[in-house]
Structure 1
Amino acid sequence: MRRYTGFVALALMMVLSLWFGLGEKGGNRLTPPPATQQQPAPTAQPKPARPAEKPVQKTSLPATEQGFDYYVLSLSWSPSYCQSDEGAGNRQQCGSNRDLSLVVHGFWPQFVDGYPQFCGSSEPERVPDDLARRQLDLLPTVGLVGHQWRKHGTCSNLSQRAYFAKLRAAWNQLKLPSDLSSAGQQKTLSTDRIVSQLTAANPGLIASAIDVTCDGSKLDEIRICLNKDLSYRECSGDNRRVCRRDRLVLPAAP
């Protein structure tokens, strides 16, 4: 019995030896699976750059004075008007107690060719009495003040007060030579003489910024062209129809 026991033990040892030998040479020993490699997180793609925005073009002019090119300050020789059929019945301007020479006819927004008129405005059409009467040292009648505002002032896109303030500034900067500042006696001048006297009295005022109109042989109006900053500029379009007479009568006040 002991012989069989030893034989069994020897056989068992041989089996175990064979088993472990194959495992070392192996190829049969189970090996753990390789560690899963962690994939790098996807990097965020940069957003495409936005195209640069174009700079907004800014104007040096106030928005309220856009929509036209320049101004015309129109000055009327009052005695010539008072001798016309229209002026004969205007006692407010042409009464015997009014010794007027050049008066403001209007302050007109102007295109290079043509002009706007009767424009829409947020301001009322009627000029308040107190504001209108403060203009009577420049425009000779309340009716003319209201008409000029409705026809021309509304196209400036300024308020009533700003429009008349700008008109006054344009008038105040203009110096009139003696022949044009008094109508105490009748005078005879040429168009060229009127222009040369004005340019001599006003540095910066050029001859091409002045238009002289006539009613027959009499001086009718002197029109002066100004930029929106009230510097003088060349007239254009309708404002180049000048009257060129060698003898132009400036009647005396009635």
Structure 2
Amino acid sequence: MRNPIVRRRAWLAALAACAVACLGTAAPAQDRRQNAPGEFDFYVLALSWSPSYCEQASERGNAGRSQQIQCGGRPFSFVVHGLWPQYERGFPEYCQRPSPRLDRRIMNSMLDLMPAPGLIYNEWDKHGTCAGTPARDYFENIRRARAAVRIPPDFIDAKEPRTVTPAEVEEAFIKVNPGLSESAIAVICDRTRLTEVRICMSKDLQFRACAEVDRRACRRDRLEVPPVRGG
């Protein structure tokens, strides 16, 4: 009969080997480029449903300057959250530390699409520095990407609250954007509300599939769509 101590050591060694193998299988591979500016595969254009953002801010009692600008009198519907460089698996972030200082004039020029100065500065630091372009070119690409996406009519002047399915939101965008497919768009939600639509685009800002982004889409059956505020 084998010594109990020897058997226990063999069992622990086998358990450790299994743990290493299992972790290696489950954990996503680190992209070899590791946050090198300009080295990425595609973009995600993230469009935030502003009324949901404002409801969330109100519930948290958050009345900062950015919330006052976005949630004041102007009737914002979808606003740009960001244009995010992506790998096929994972994404780079904060690719230059410290990040190059963003010219205030560039920030001011983007307030019509991204109505919060803090958001614009943060997007440059976290995502823009990974694009591998000067700040002016990065934000011009945001403007070009946004111009390439048509917003469905039902979401432009949404005066009344309503309830939709994630599939209905996708279908509405696909209907008015030739070339956009289900594999290139993801609807994002919180516990009850539509919060964001994410559209995958190539480096030259053409619609393209993105399996990992699509896997992170909202799985709820129904979503509340708060009405556009102000106006």
| Residues 8-27 of structure 1 mapped to structure 2, 5 A cutoff | none
Counterpart of 1:193 in 2: which secondary structure?
A: helix
Q: State yes or no: 1:210 paired with 2:185.
A: yes
Structure 1 residue 239 displacement after superposition = 4.4
Q: 1:227 and 2:202 equivalent?
A: yes
State the shift of 1:122 in Å.
9.5
- The range that moved more, 179-188 or 69-78, is 179-188
Does the aligned pair in 1 maintain the 2:183–2:214 contact within 8 Å?
Answer: no
2:44 equivalent to 1:72: yes
Query: Given that residues 190 and 244 in structure 1 are in contact (C-alpha distance below 8 angstroms), is that contact kept between their aligned partners in structure 2?
Result: no
What CA distance in whole angstroms lies between the structure 2 residues aligned with 1:87 and 1:211? Answer: 29
Equivalent of 2:74 in 64, 83, 98: 98
Task: Using structure 2 for the length normalisation, give the TM-score.
Answer: 0.76
Q: Which amino acid aligns with 2:48?
A: S
Q: Report the Cα offset of residue 236 of structure 1.
A: 2.7
* 1:118 aligned partner: 94
Counterparts of residues 1-254 of structure 1 (less than 5 Å): 66-85=38-57, 88-89=62-63, 90-95=67-72, 97-120=73-96, 124=100, 126-254=101-229
Aligned residues: 189
Code of the aligned partner of 1:157:
G
Deviation at 1:183, TM superposition (A): 3.4
Structure 1 alignment gaps of length 5 or more: 1-63
Judge conservation of contact 1:123–1:159 (CA < 8 Å) in 2: no
Residue 129 of structure 2: SS of its match in structure 1? helix
Structure 2: how far apart are the matches of 1:167 and 1:206? Answer: 21
Tell me what 1:31 maps to. Answer: none
Q: Whose RCO is larger (CA < 8 A, sep 6+)? A: 2
**CA deviation string 1:33-53 (max 9, x = no partner):** xxxxxxxxxxxxxxxxxxxxx
Question: The residue matched to 1:107 in structure 2 has which SS?
Answer: strand
Which one has a bigger Cα radius of gyration?
1
Using the aligned pairs only, state the percent identity: 43
Mapped to 1, the partners of 2:61 and 2:185 lie a distance apart of 25
